[in-house]
């Protein structure tokens, strides 16, 4: 929701219903990916000593 508010307030963008619903989905996917990369060991990286 924050990216939508920022885009409207700062850039004067206009969004429809689809864009307003898609914005939190994209943000959630980005946050989920980052959290998963912190939680799970990535293949190919050596273990810390």
pLDDT per residue rounded down to tens, the chain (49 residues)? 676 677 778 888 787 888 878 888 998 999 998 888 777 766 666 666 6
pTM score above 0.85: no
pLDDT value for 28: 93
pLDDT of residue 16: 84
7 contacts: CB under 8 Å, gap ≥ 6: 13, 15
For helices 17-39 and 2-11, angle between their N-to-C axes, nearest 10 degrees: 130
DSSP 1-49: -HHHHHHHHHH-----HHHHHHHHHHHHHHHHHHHHHHHSPPTTSPPP-
């Amino acid at each position: 929701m924050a990216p939508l508010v920022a885009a409207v307030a700062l850039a004067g963008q206009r969004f429809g219903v689809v864009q307003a619903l898609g914005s939190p989905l994209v943000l959630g996917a980005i946050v989920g990916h980052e959290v998963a990369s912190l939680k799970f060991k990535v293949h190919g990286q050596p273990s810390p000593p």
